[in-house]
A and B are shown apart, each in its own frame.
Chain A
Amino acid sequence: MRIWLIAAASSLALLTQPAVSQTYPSKPIHMLVPYAPGGVTDIAARIVGAKLTEAWGQQVVVENRPGGNGFIGMSAGAKGAPDGYTLTMATIGDVSINPVLFKEMPYNMERDFTSVGLVSDIPLVLAANSETPYKSVADVIAAAKAQPGRISVGSPGSGTINQIVIEWIGLETGTKFQHIPFKGGAPSAAAVAGGTIPLGVLASSSVAPHVKSGKIRVLAVTGAKPSKFNPQWPTLQSQGVKEVDASQWTLLLAPKGTPKAIVEKINTELVKILNMPDVKERFAAGGAETSPSTPAELDARMKTATAAFGNIVKRANIKPN
């Protein structure tokens, strides 16, 4: 029944396309954020929202629906009317980790959402307390191999991309780490800086102040390419940890069945906004790079990530909830 409705709606949408995209938007747009105000995702939504409001003369209202690992906001986004007036600012965790980590999901990416575009990318780093003997990735691997499972590595929480990276490094190098989750980026970074734990996989923005004060040493970035913020940091891949390529991204979604013309109109505007110098600067201030993309590029990226993470979760024997 539902599929028929969607089919009918989308064929109707196809017929009326030019008219729809010309009049869109004719009323305020709701941008749902599945996280609390003040966080990375919320800030991204507020920056983009303010610029969309400027461009279209229609208010873009940022609505925070935090809770339940992002489930509450994502479910609300999935159930929104497919007319372009409900958008969701999501993260890699919502689209590529939770689906492989939870047995029961209140939403399904394929069935409920259509991609609008990537928004930003935050590089992650493997960082060590400066007083530890870890000077390079090789040191860490050697220590872990000597004592598998006895080297503690901190992350901002269970089920985060950071935890996935910790397991991934272990799998690629044939060893294992003791994962110590904290509640958020700043507390985990402070724990590494204070010496509570020797190592952490953290957002580069969380470690930046401690790197400056000399308490934390960055050993590598976890992406395949060096970070724009500090091109001197080597990548994990260049340090012999093959395959690992992960970062924390933010992206914009619309409910499935949103007319293609509207999705394209939003994407065009989004790309324009993300290329503005002042927007780039704002994101950089929060430790993120803007990363404009087409909807198709985002689809491809989500697919690759979900497949890779599903594989890691299985091999590292992380029990899904």
Chain B
Amino acid sequence: MQTLDNLLFGLEVALTLQNIAYCFIGCLLGTLVGVLPGIGPVATVAMLLPFTFNLGPAPALIMLAGIYYGAQYGGSTTAILVNIPGESSAVVTTLDGHQMARKGRAGPALGIAAIGSFVAGCIATLVVAFFAPPLAEVAIKFGPPEYFSLMVFGLIAAVVLARGSVIKAIAMVCVGILLGLVGTDVNSGVIRYAFNLPELMDGIGFVALAMAFFGITDVVANLEETDQGDVYKERLGSVLPTLQDIRTCFWSIMRGTSLGSLLGILPGGGALLASFAAYMVEKKIAKPPRNFGEGDIRGVAAPESANNAGAQTSFIPMLTLGIPSNPTMALMIGALMIQGIQPGPQVMTERPELFWGLVASMWVGNLMLLVLNLPLIGVWVRLLAVPYRLLFPAIFVFCCIGVYTVDNKVFDIYVLAALTGVAYVLLKLDCEPAPLILGFILGPMMEEQMRRAMMINFGDITVFVRHPVSALFLAAAAILMLLIALPSLRAKREVALQE
């Protein structure tokens, strides 16, 4: 009951005219910058930071949070329409979302993304409201061995993401890990594979990598097909998802939401793992007929719900531990610090108007985004009617601007160009980029956590099985590996028997 009272109190804060206005500004700005593949939420929040000096902490945070999840919404729009994942969590959305767009089902894809996100947002808001303090406790007890084993599990699961050959998927995960190791090693401070270039000392930028492997390579591949006009087969198609679509997706949205809410509380890449995990689960347990990778609507619904739920629950480690899940959240912590608020376990009791106001505003914001986005879908879909010869240069330019604005570095555009070359070769070899991206993100984290665990335990490797949660993840990873290996083993045996 206490929680309900608190939520009501939060709604009182969030529904003041001023806070509704800031929430709306945030959501609108977020959607806009999310849709423009060029400008990311980080640049937007950084520009607005001085402006928040003179707002109270609650309106400031409500607006910045609006930009954050607005951008998540907008990011899926570009992922579906033009195959550019603006944020790491949208990578999975490209897999089926863009295939749907190519088959003239961009509208339903965008619609189900919006609806799934809304449902997930509502449920995750309740999760934050009811379980924030115990969940923060979980996050703080999640040590290096647990993280390591979770990453192992994630990487093995990444193989399931691939449509084609398992061997190629494993190879791509490894290439991804190698690319991820460029830069300064956290544990020793040694700089690896940087060729003495200060620009590479912090590693290869994710945005450059994602745009190279998805956005630009996709353009190149499209241009190769002789008749260029045919990229989007039926251009417009239906605009909204049908009732049947929604019924098909209902359980996918629920599963995505629960995975997202759970993983979102882990500050180290949890929210990101959520969308991958949700997709993999759907691929294995959704009701047949399953045609994931070729435009299955559940392949959009599940990861989109997961990623929005994760975005919401990642506010738990941010507010209670001060640990950001991504650069946008790091900026929000900066904004809070300027206002004299130390994120920490006391935020809830010392600044209830801030905490509950934010929680309530998340729900209000999600509603606004739904209202804002559903009518806009028609506009976005019409974008596909623009002839491809006009569309692709625009994609090119926006990708370059986007890569540049991350750190204001021209160097990153060269990285984009070089990686596009690599990506093109891999495309020709029929190697899929999604496992590579997951390896790129999870690999370095896995290494960091493993070595940290070993350092703390002075080289005792049994620590990974002595911690129960860690042992559980490792066991799950082993089972998953068997599941992947079995079909090919069985196939081999059958071949052998036939002979």
Contact = CB atoms under 8 A, between A and B. Distances in A.
A64 B344 contact: no
Nearest to B205: A67
Interface residues of B, number: 57
Interface string A34-64: 0011110011001101100000000000011
A75 interface: yes
A181 B186 contact: yes
Contacts of A25: none
Q: Which among A68, A181, A197, A287 has the highest number of chain B CB atoms within 10 Å?
A: A68
A321 B143 CA distance: 29
B315 to A, nearest CB: 14
Nearest to B188: A158
B409 A72 contact: yes
B331 interface: yes
B141 A39 contact: no
Interface stretch (A4-12, A185-193, A233-241): A185-193
A152 interface: yes
A177 B330 CA distance: 30
Nearest to A46: B50
B192 to A, nearest CB: 11
Nearest to A63: B408
Contacts of B342: 205, 208-209, 287
Interface string B301-324: 000000000000000000001111
A213 B345 contact: yes
Interface string A286-313: 1100000000000000000000000000
Contacts, number: 152
Contact of A196 (B144, B196, B330): B144
Contact of A68 (B202, B337, B346): B202
B267 interface: yes
B338 A208 contact: no
A226 interface: no
Contacts of A150: 458
A67 B198 contact: yes
Contacts of B267: 187, 190
A94 to B, nearest CB: 12
Nearest to B201: A68
A224 interface: no
A287 to B, nearest CB: 8
Nearest to B347: A209
A212 interface: yes
Interface residues of A, number: 56
B267 to A, nearest CB: 7
Interface in B429-486: 448, 452, 455-456, 458
A46 B339 CA distance: 13
Contacts of B196: 104
A15 interface: no
A186 B322 contact: yes
Contact of A209 (B50, B139, B346, B455): B346
Contacts of A197: 456
A281 interface: yes
B42 interface: yes
A178 interface: yes
Given A67-B201, A72-B409, A210-B344, A38 B46 contact: yes
Contacts of B50: 46, 49-50
Counting chain B CB atoms within 10 Å of each CB, the highest count among A63, A65, A75, A286 belongs to: A286
8 A-B pairs with least C-beta separation: A209-B344, A158-B189, A38-B334, A68-B198, A285-B340, A68-B201, A37-B46, A194-B140
Interface of A: 36-39, 42-43, 46-47, 49-50, 63-69, 71-72, 75, 104, 106, 150, 152, 157-159, 178, 180-183, 186-187, 189-191, 193-197, 205-206, 208-210, 212-213, 281-282, 284-287, 321
Given A158-B185, A190-B322, 6 more contacts: A39-B334, A50-B50, A181-B187, A182-B186, A187-B323, A212-B345
